Every structure is written in structure tokens, then in C-alpha cells.
Amino acid sequence: MAKIVLQPAVKKLKPMKVLSYGPSYSGKTMSSILLAVGIVQKIRNCSKEDAFKHVILIDSEYGRGALYAHLGPFNYYEIEAPYHGDKLADAIKQINNMSEIDVIICDSLTHFWSKDGGILDQKAAKDKLGGNSYTNWQDVTAQFNRMIDTIMASPKHILTTTRAKTDTVVVTEGGKSIPRSYGLKPELRDGIEYDFDIVFNIDKNSHNLLVDKGVPGIDMIYDIATPELGAKLLDLFNSDAVVPERTKEDIMKSLRDMSKNNNMITFMQLALSGRKLDDLEIEALKELELNLINEIKKKQTSKAK
């Protein structure tokens, strides 16, 4: 065994790995493209149009990624069924050697898990042939692990999407009962979010980005994905971010914006009980903000009561 030499920890630059999940039509693909453009702009200090040329979208969503070609001239590669994980791993390995590409978008990982030729499909096929179910599961899991390991080991920034296991409930808004779908968790192997640096749960209606996992300095919720947000995330990821001291005015603005953008005005009115935000001390404002964020996340991740 090699001798252990004690030395101070040093934060090293590494490519950022992001997972975005949500119901269908929540905006996962568009959000990833816009974030990728901002990341490239930060890296190359280039125009938005030029940044698109350094992004590639690997599409396993039956060609849906090409629907966003109007956003800009990003590169495009399509993987068709059967969705064997080694197909994605091989594509990423080839792109790793392309100096003109800075960001890879994998849209989506769900197909390599639960669609035609994916992990669950391969497991079912092995079980039909007999043998030990546990051993069969080990065989296909090894393939999935190779795919995830390839994503993590890539020298490129990689933004991935996955569909969400959803719950549709009827809620009352504006005096009308309407159905709403909420993303509960990624439609992938349980615990997959632990492999990624940043995990977003994207709301179907507002397209807000709720942060399930982040880095120091990251907000708990963002209104919508933009290139500017992509650049900001890269800055936070690459720096020893220190959370800035927030003023009372900062927190009040956050409360007003979040309650308006997420239809939480009634929640705020009940929480304030006739008081005004100006009446609260900063610690009470922070507590109210945390309660509001938790209530918003509850709407995304659990069935309405």
C-alpha cells in the first residue's frame, strides 16, 4: 500500500455535470440549450450565435431535439432505438476528442433506462430466457454504470435531461378546477441525482428551475433558464463561492417575485396575517422565504392535499 502523504485540499477545475428532470413539455430541452449557450459564452467570451456552434445535442427523443433548431446553429446527433447505453457512451467518447465542442447535451437519459432496448427492456428479455434474476440485473446494471461513468469522466461540460415520474392532480386556480402535472423524481435508477453536480426539477407550468442539488452560492429556485444563468452557474461551480450577505430588501424582493411567479399570493397573505413585509425583521423574512420555497417544492414533488 502506498504511503499516505497529508496535504491541504485544493479545489480543482472540473467539467460541470447537470441533470434536469420534469414532466413532458416542462422545457427540459430548451432549458438545457440555453444554459449550454451561456456556458460557452463564458468559456470563449463569444457572441450567442457563435456559442451555439460549440454545443452538440445528442437526441434520443425521436428527433424532437431538432425542433429547437430555430434557437441557433447548435450541432446535432441522433441515436435511434434500440437504446443501448454503449451507444451513448461511444458517442460521448468520440465528442471528447472534438476541440470545437465545449458542451454536450444528452436528451434524454430516460430512453437508455426504460425505452426500447434500454436497461429495463434488456433485463426483462434476460429474465424470459431464465437464469438468476439477480445475476441478470447485475449484467445490465454494469452497462448502465459504464454509460454514467463515461458522462462523469468526460472532459466536456454535460447537461442531461430525463423524464419525470409524475403525479397529475386537480387544483383550483382562479375559481376553476384544472389538472396539473408535477415531477416527483427522475425516471431513472433511484439515487441517480447523487452522481451529478447540479440537479434541476423543472416545473411544467411556470418553467421554473427548482434546485434539488447545487453548489455553494446557488439559489434554491430560478424563474427560467437563460444563457445568463448558464454563465452564472459555471462561475459558481468553478469558484469557491461565498454566499453574499443579503439585505432585507433582497429578501423582500425574492418573496414578492416567487409568490407572484408561482401563484402563491394566497399563501403569502395567510402567512403574513395582515402584516406587511416591511413590518418583519430580517430573520423572520428569512424564515418566511424558506417556508415559501418549501411550499413551492411540495407542489412539485407531492400530491396536493
**296-305 pLDDT tens trace:** 877 766 544 4
Q: What's the Cα-to-Cα distance from 97 to each of 100, 149, 166, rounded to whole Å?
A: 9, 17, 37
- Mean pLDDT of the 254-267 span: 86
Tell me what pLDDT residue 190 has.
87
pLDDT tens-digit series, residues 154-181: 999 999 999 987 655 555 556 665 555 5
Mean pLDDT of 115-127: 92
Q: Which three cell numbers stand for residue 175?
A: 375559481
Going from the C-alpha of 77 to that of each of 54, 58, 74, the distances in angstroms are: 13, 5, 10
Q: Residue 24: what pLDDT?
A: 86
Q: What pTM value is reported for the model?
A: 0.80
Residue 187: partners with Cβ closer than 8 Å, 6 or more residues away: 21, 110, 113, 114, 162, 163, 164, 165
- Which distant-in-sequence residues (6+ apart) come within 8 Å of 226 by Cβ? 34, 35, 38
Domain 17-238 has CATH 3.40.50.300: yes
Residue that wins the pLDDT comparison between 171 and 139: 139
- Enumerate the CATH 3.40.50.300 domain ranges in the chain, comma separated: 17-238
pLDDT mean over 26-33: 96
**Has residue 217 got a pLDDT over 80?**
yes
**What is the pLDDT at residue 278?**
92
Percent of the chain at pLDDT > 90 equals 61
> For residues 218 and 293, what is the distance between their CA atoms, to the nearest angstrom?
14
Residue 7, number of CB atoms within 10 A of its CB: 6
Q: Angle, to 10 degrees, between the axis of helix 28-44 and the axis of helix 227-238?
A: 60
Pairing of strands 55-59, 103-107: parallel
Write out pLDDT tens, residues 68-103.
Answer: 999 999 999 999 999 999 999 999 999 999 999 999
